[in-house]
Amino acid sequence: MSTQGFVYEMQPTDDGDVVSWAQLRKGCVAPATDMERQFGLTVPLSDTVTKVMRFCASIDPTLSTVADVSGHMLFPNVHVTITGGDFTVETEKVFAGGANRQSIFNYRVWIFVKAKHRETAERLRQSFNMGLPRPFGG
């Protein structure tokens, strides 16, 4: 059985879910509590990452999600790995600029997909093509 895969490089258009900074640092993607929201201890995932997580959950609701964070709270690089029964999707939010007003939203999300079956890879590709902005170079 061969592995099927593809890669996207996306520029997000908006923020997605607001997640807990403390939980993200522990490797969990969890909604922010009211107290965390009140004190600003949150990190917005991009709309691209949020949509990818939802697409994957629609294919395999038993999936696991793990986050790896580098950088600091204002400009974190967030790597999310989503593992389903026969696929793995990795998303990585990478900032492309320094800390100034013009570069705050200057980042990309890379999406790496590996699936054991061609049908699963094609379902993910179709979901991404229908629900995400057009990928760079694609």
- 29-62: per-residue pLDDT in tens? 889 999 999 998 988 888 888 888 888 998 898 9
Domains in the chain, ordered, with CATH?
A: 4-17+46-131 (3.30.310)
Cβ contact 130:111 at 8 Å: no
Residue 138, pLDDT > 60, answer no
Residue 12 confidence (pLDDT): 75
Burial 79-110 (b: 16+ CB within 10 A, else e): bbbbbbebbbbbbbbebeeeeeeeeeeebbbb
The model carries a pTM of 0.79
Average confidence (pLDDT) over 4-31: 83
- 67-100: per-residue pLDDT in tens? 888 877 777 778 899 999 999 999 887 665 544 4
